[in-house]
Amino acid sequence: MKNGRINIKNHNIFMKRKLLCESLEEFRLLEQDEPLALAVLGAPAGGKSSNMSSIISAVKDARIEDTIKHGVNLTVDVLRDEFKSQKPIEQIRGFMHAFYYIKGKAEENPKEYGKGFKDIQLIWADKLSKLMPSLQIQVKDNELYFQGKPAIRNLKALQDKSINAAEVLQQLNKYQDFKRVVRYFQNKKQEDAITKQYNVSYDESGDEPAKIVGGLKQLHKKGYVTDVFLIHLKNVATNLLQNYIRVLSGKDGGRDSSDAIIQSYLDIEKNKNIYKNNAEDNLKTSSNALRQGKVKAEVVDTIKKANVPDDPKRGDKPIDVFTEVSTRDPYEVYNAAAKELSPEKNNYS
């Protein structure tokens, strides 16, 4: 726009590109029989990202490759960055919508979502109320109030010029405080993907299997093939070593604490049978087999042939294929790191 006028030439170029992208996406969707939901799970610092690349090359399933490269990525870290790229005031609105979204989930399933609702209530009551005093924020009887009115019906209050949304957001913890709002954002993106029947992928810690299975059940009912890969190690020391190596090398920040890694690992170990019990096919392989392209033929064949119709003999299961991937032992990780790290950083050996 220049002097109040839209540049028609640039606008037309933009619209043509947009229509072309949408047409290509529709063509891809026509080529696939059923959309795929791909979940790669595992405790932090377990190597989910590297194993995802190995899965593409080893399994050679066009649906998996298409999903990872072109599908909607619902990974929390990715969505956190996308959410935080929005205008600050839109992010504040997102926190408000997250309150009501998690409230609804908690009413449906108090056991699974009760803690999450308490968390989002505390963010508003203990933090945001102090950072935006002009809103006169209150949380009572499971309702959020702006200036004495339910927030959902008083959005205009956020237009108060005394609110510096950017400064407010800087006072929040970028991981813990944004965790709940990103879950709301994730649900919103997933609903949009389901409507358009786009392939979806995400990686999670996997330590809340009931929630993950519940999400996969929703996707499965909408016609999605559901593949789950659990990157799970025989020894949590592998995760701890890999996280420490990230700190030394500067990769991914190495932000996960040892306590959080161990707790996530123990929760997965305790509850991983929930995944197995909700899957039609249960498979096993290793990260070495994936990396070397030596996955057993029956494993590859089962993954490629997965489809939505349920096998009457095995019941109506929300997961079509569950594959547990064992990874390197601590000695392998240590020896590999010793070779990779520079002499300056390699002072722990």
Strand partners, 146: 149
Alpha-carbon gap, residue 147 to 30, rounded angstroms:
50
pLDDT number for residue 315 = 72
- What's the gap between Cα 164 and its chain centre? 29
Q: Which of the four pLDDT bands, split at 50, 70 and 90, describes residue 25?
A: very low
Q: Indicate whether 47 pLDDT > 50.
A: yes
| pLDDT tens digits along 244-278 | 777 776 665 555 678 888 998 999 999 999 999 99
- Written as six digits, the tokens of 287 are 């990260």
Alpha-carbon gap, residue 203 to 75, rounded angstroms:
5
Averaged pLDDT for residues 224-235: 91
- Alpha-carbon torsion (26, 32, 34, 37), positive or negative: negative
Q: Indicate whether 5 pLDDT > 80.
A: no
Strand partners, 200: 37, 72
Give the predicted TM-score (pTM) of the model: 0.78
Alpha-carbon gap, residue 9 to 156, rounded angstroms:
36
Higher pLDDT, 22 or 321: 321
Q: Indicate whether 125 pLDDT > 50.
A: yes
| pLDDT tens digits along 133-160 | 999 999 999 999 999 999 999 999 999 9
Alpha-carbon gap, residue 55 to 66, rounded angstroms:
12
Alpha-carbon gap, residue 249 to 7, rounded angstroms:
47
